[in-house]
Structure 1
């Protein structure tokens, strides 16, 4: 599934739409170049789940930020600065990814072999003045989520 996102507001709106349909245990893997909107989309997901927008920022140096939503905890990883799979162990990645709450993983493609079996892959690409979001379901849960998102999506596509 693809969406053209004309601006930052549309990118965050896609995140809010994903957050609206998110459930405990969901894992969203975000890929894309620097500045493609991964953190902005993550902010939309977290806000939809009840986190405060000003609390959501890139965990580039912290590696993981945790936000409290209305009902679910949101774990927001940025794997950009990690070099080896062993470093994921050191931060308790396996315990968080796919556990209770919702997990957002920026730069997930760097550790593809360590990801859960099922997740939603979100790739953000620069496209002219906007962005193109490519969403790919890895598993039945995420196929269902994409059908729900498609019904509710209104990005002028």
Structure 2
């Protein structure tokens, strides 16, 4: 048995969607999932992809994924990689799939001249936090996440007319 990492292809949409649903269930956020196969196909493999996905396989079977995209640091003056989601099915945890996914992301960050690789983790997810710390990740406790969505996003968009 060995874990391998590969780039996702459009034929992986079903597996990616399944991983997203399983992750949402684990994070107790299933009620927030709006992604479906069509939206994933459009934004991951359409004419203008907005994110990329790596698939972890064990003996040829998909056991996990990492969905990521580029961001940009104005202070560094260089791009970064932002890991939106990483998930490994419970039966495959302990095989090294999570570490292999993060290692491949770090390789991509270096290959692409990125200044950093970063992600969020829920504050109650102690197993993941401990895992990330073991890999050298450090918390950015002085930062808080801000979000505008739904009606607030629409209101903000209409606050100043585009010219």
**TM-score, normalisation: structure 2:** 0.29
Q: Which has the higher contact order (CA 8 A, sep 6+)?
A: 1
Larger relative strand fraction: 1
Larger radius of gyration: 2
